[in-house]
């Protein structure tokens, strides 16, 4: 593309009513044309994160209409699903009365291109039907309590991850199963409502550690899964060690300031020929060792002769 072409492109993107935005792998706005900045009330020199844009617009009733009374839950739910597929399209409505058809295109490094077109003139009844469909789809994918992806969605992503690794020899990664330690005792001693508060706190802590390419979800009770594409088992171990440190320092129960909780983690890496059952079972076996050996730790499942962690002859 020549210099004149780039100059023409720059001039046109500044004049088009189409909204254009580019986010980096950390979901920080790196480019936005005037139409996008006007719609979401972002200053010419600002580079906020997507979450910052949503929160401040919600407070003053501008930008996207968020049909929620719990902005934290909405942010958590959307963040854990945002940018997890190479392309998706959706409708969204703005407080100024416009309806937008928005597409998100994500590259392998986690950068996201967002383009939105005004579709306000489309028949309102058709929009409502599509919005009802989108709400139903979200309900089928999200855990009701924590607002993170549910077991069905997370296991589907695990299936996709394994298929991608099998098709591409340059892809790799690992999977962690995370269990909140002594959760039954927490419920028995403090009540189920307090137990729910612990689950919600853990889901919030995880937001700091989940990258755009990762998938984090609740797979049952106090058990969660984290899928880490393009991550070696050593890198995954370091990420999860930081998570455990953060969880230890959390004090989620306001009326019981001395209360804290811990987690145990089983970590396994993808191997050629793995099925969902194979990879899940190895991570689960590593989790068993983490709990058996005192909890509040990460254990890795590795082959004999490699890192001295969990080997097949140690597994239950």
Residues 131, 183 within the same domain:
no
Q: Look at residue 315 and tell me if it is in a domain.
A: no
88 and 127 within one domain: yes
* E strand spans, 48-199: 87-93, 99-106, 112-118, 173-180
Residues linked to residue 175 through DSSP beta bridges, in sequence order: 227, 268
Task: Specify whether 123 is located in the same domain as 242.
Answer: no
- The confidence score (pLDDT) of residue 186 equals 96
Residue 310 has a pLDDT of 52
Which of 94, 111, 141 is the C-terminal boundary of a domain? 141
Q: Is residue 258 part of a domain?
A: yes
Q: How confident is the model at residue 313, as a pLDDT?
A: 46
Q: Are residues 277 and 173 in the same domain?
A: yes
Which position among 222, 223, 245, 258 bears the catalytic label? Answer: 222
Tokens of 37: 């900045």
Q: Quick one: 241 and 287 in the same domain?
A: yes
- Inter-residue contact 27 to 212 (CB < 8 Å): yes
Which of 124, 116, 121 minimizes the C-alpha distance to 90? 116
pLDDT at 134: 66
Residues 10, 41: one domain? yes
CATH code of the domain covering residue 201 = 3.30.70.270
121 and 175 part of one domain: no
The confidence score (pLDDT) of residue 315 equals 46
Output the tens digit of pLDDT for each of the chain's 316 residues. Answer: 677 887 888 889 899 999 999 999 999 999 999 999 999 999 999 999 999 999 999 999 999 999 888 898 889 888 878 888 888 888 888 999 999 999 999 998 889 999 999 988 875 666 666 666 666 666 678 898 998 999 999 999 999 999 999 998 888 999 999 999 999 999 999 999 999 999 999 999 988 788 888 999 999 999 999 999 999 999 999 999 999 999 999 999 989 999 999 999 999 999 999 999 999 999 999 999 999 999 999 999 976 545 545 544 444 4
- Its domain, for residue 214, covers 151-301
Is 222 annotated in the active site?
A: yes
The residue from 91, 109, 141 where one domain ends is: 141
Does 53 map to a domain? yes
CATH number at residue 37: 3.30.450.20
Whether residue 171 is found in the same domain as residue 220:
yes
Residue 152: the pLDDT is 92
Which burial class, exposed, middle or buried, applies to 33 when counting CB atoms under 10 A from its CB (0-12, 13-18, 19+)? buried
Residue 73 pLDDT? 86
From 95, 113, 141, give the residue that closes a domain: 141
For residue 215, being part of any structural domain is answered with: yes
312/286 Cα distance (integer angstroms):
10
| Calpha distance 291→297 (Å, rounded) | 8
Query: Which pLDDT value is given to residue 132?
Result: 67
Supply the Cα-derived Rg of the chain in whole angstroms: 22
Q: Verify that 243 and 178 share a domain, yes or no.
A: yes
DSSP run (H or E) holding 133: helix 124-141
Domain count across the chain: 2
- Judge if 85 and 171 occupy the same domain: no
Please tell me whether residues 157 and 277 are part of one structural domain. yes
Please report whether residue 309 resides in a domain. no
The pLDDT value recorded for residue 312 is: 45
- Domain-located, residue 306: no
Q: Are 175 and 283 in contact (CB under 8 A)?
A: yes
- 44 domain residue, yes or no: yes
Q: Are 180 and 248 in contact (CB under 8 A)?
A: no
Same structural domain, 156 and 278: yes
Distance of alpha carbon 67 from alpha carbon 58, whole angstroms: 10
Residue 64 lies in a domain: yes
């Amino acid at each position: 593309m020549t210099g004149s072409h780039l100059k023409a492109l720059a001039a046109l993107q500044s004049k088009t009513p189409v909204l254009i935005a580019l986010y980096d792998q950390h979901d920080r706005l790196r480019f936005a044309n005037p139409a996008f900045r006007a719609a979401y009330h972002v200053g010419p020199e600002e580079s906020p994160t997507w979450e910052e844009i949503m929160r401040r617009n919600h407070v003053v009733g501008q930008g996207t209409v968020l049909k929620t009374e719990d902005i934290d839950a909405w942010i958590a739910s959307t963040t854990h699903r945002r940018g997890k597929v190479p392309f998706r399209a959706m409708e969204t409505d703005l407080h100024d009365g416009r309806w937008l058809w928005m597409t998100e295109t994500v590259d392998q490094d986690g950068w996201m291109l967002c383009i939105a077109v005004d579709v306000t003139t489309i028949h309102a009844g058709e929009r409502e039907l599509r919005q009802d469909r989108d709400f139903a789809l979200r309900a089928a994918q999200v855990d009701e309590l924590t607002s993170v992806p549910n077991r069905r969605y997370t296991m589907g992503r695990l299936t996709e991850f394994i298929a991608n690794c099998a098709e591409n020899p340059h892809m790799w990664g690992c999977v962690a199963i995370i269990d909140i330690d002594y959760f039954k005792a927490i419920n028995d001693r403090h009540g189920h409502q307090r137990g729910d508060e612990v689950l919600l706190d853990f889901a919030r802590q995880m937001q700091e550690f989940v990258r755009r390419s990762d998938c984090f979800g609740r797979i049952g009770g106090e058990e969660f899964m984290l899928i880490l594409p393009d991550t070696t088992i050593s890198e995954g171990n370091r990420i999860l060690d930081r998570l455990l440190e953060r969880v230890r320092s959390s004090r989620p129960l306001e009326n019981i300031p001395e209360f804290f909780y811990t987690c145990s983690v089983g970590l396994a890496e993808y191997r050629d020929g793995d099925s969902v059952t194979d990879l899940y079972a190895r991570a689960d076996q590593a989790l068993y060792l983490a709990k058996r050996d005192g909890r509040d730790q990460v254990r890795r499942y590795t082959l004999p002769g490699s890192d001295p962690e969990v080997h097949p002859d140690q597994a239950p």
